[in-house]
Amino acid sequence: MDEVVISRAIVESYMKDFMGALEVDVAVAGAGPAGLVTAYSLAKEGIKVMVLERQLRIGGGMSGGGMMFNRIVVQEEGKRILDEFEVSVEEYKKGYYVADSLETISTICARAIKAGAKIFNLINVEDVMVREDDLPAAQLWQAGRITGLVLNWSAVSWSKLHVDPLTVRCKVAVDATGHDAEVCRIVVEKIGPKLRTKTGEVMGEKSMWAERGEREILENTREVYPGLVVAGMTANAVFGSPRMGAIFGGMLLSGKKAARVAMELLK
């Protein structure tokens, strides 16, 4: 085996995928359960989608289950999505189902890739691209539209190096970065309090209330700024709803809805 051939195979294969993803229909920030379900749901419809994950691993908070017990709970609606992915589920009691968090997230990730989604880990979203070309003069900067994401290697930000980023163009962006709502916070920092929330800013998640959080996450999953959709825990963090803990049905359902919202915007 030739080490240089191995190196060439890795570099050429990766760069082929990365070059092909510099212009996509939908760019998803965050490879947690909501982001991956969003990507899977779009890719299986033939929509060109990429997922950007700043960490080495995918899965967000799902991998750790509840307090590092690698199990998750879903309700009836969430179970139907896990059934679609053929994830093993056991009924704990009526309306409560338990699944292995590692099987769940690895299966969803594999299905998303097989459907055509391109997933790139160790890449951080550090800014957004905003354009106003299609807007009337009276609606320029205040109503600009997200048209792309600005990227850098995660190691660059972790090392606090000054290295200029690269960009990808997208028609729709999805913030599925979880509790931190990273892309939405960038919008507020760079553009001002223009989000479609009561304050125009990221309102911040409330204390744990599983029932209410699970109910409100679907309502919160929507376009929060022109060209920017929120999904998963990001949606609740942006709109000030409670966190839910280790029940993940809402995350899966939010990913499905985010895909539908993105497809409507693409029309």
pTM (predicted TM-score): 0.95
Nearest CA to 180 out of 71, 60, 74, 70 is that of: 60
In a domain, 4, yes or no: no
In a domain, 14, yes or no: no
Asked whether the beta carbons of 252 and 214 are under 8 A apart, the reply is: no
CA distance 108 to 39: 10
pLDDT 10s digits, 45-57: 999 999 999 999 9
Residue found under tokens 């989604």 = 117
C-alpha pair distances (Å), 256 with each of 37, 249, 260: 6, 11, 7
Q: Give the percent of the chain with pLDDT over 90.
A: 95
Q: H helices of the chain, where?
A: 3-20, 33-43, 76-84, 101-115, 154-158, 182-191, 210-220, 233-239, 249-266
Cα angle 242-38-244, degrees, rounded to a multiple of 5: 15
pLDDT 10s digits, 83-129: 999 999 999 999 999 999 999 999 999 999 999 999 999 999 999 99
The band of 133, judged by pLDDT with boundaries at 50, 70 and 90, is: low
pLDDT 10s digits, 201-257: 999 999 999 999 999 999 999 999 999 999 999 999 999 999 999 999 999 999 999
- Total residues belonging to the chain: 267
Q: How many domains does the chain have?
A: 1
The enclosing domain of 132 has a CATH number of: 3.50.50.60
In a domain, 185, yes or no: yes
Asked if pLDDT for residue 141 goes beyond 60, the answer is no
Asked if pLDDT for residue 132 goes beyond 90, the answer is no
Asked whether the beta carbons of 148 and 129 are under 8 A apart, the reply is: yes
In a domain, 20, yes or no: no
In a domain, 16, yes or no: no
Asked whether the beta carbons of 53 and 103 are under 8 A apart, the reply is: no
Our measurement of the distance from residue 133's CA atom to the centroid of its chain's CA atoms, rounded to an integer in Å, reads: 26
Look up the domain containing 107 and give its range.
26-71+100-266
What are the strands, taking DSSP E only, across the chain? 23-29, 49-53, 71-74, 90-93, 96-100, 118-121, 123-131, 145-153, 166-175, 223-225, 228-230
In a domain, 255, yes or no: yes
In a domain, 59, yes or no: yes
Nearest CA to 26 out of 175, 221, 173 is that of: 173
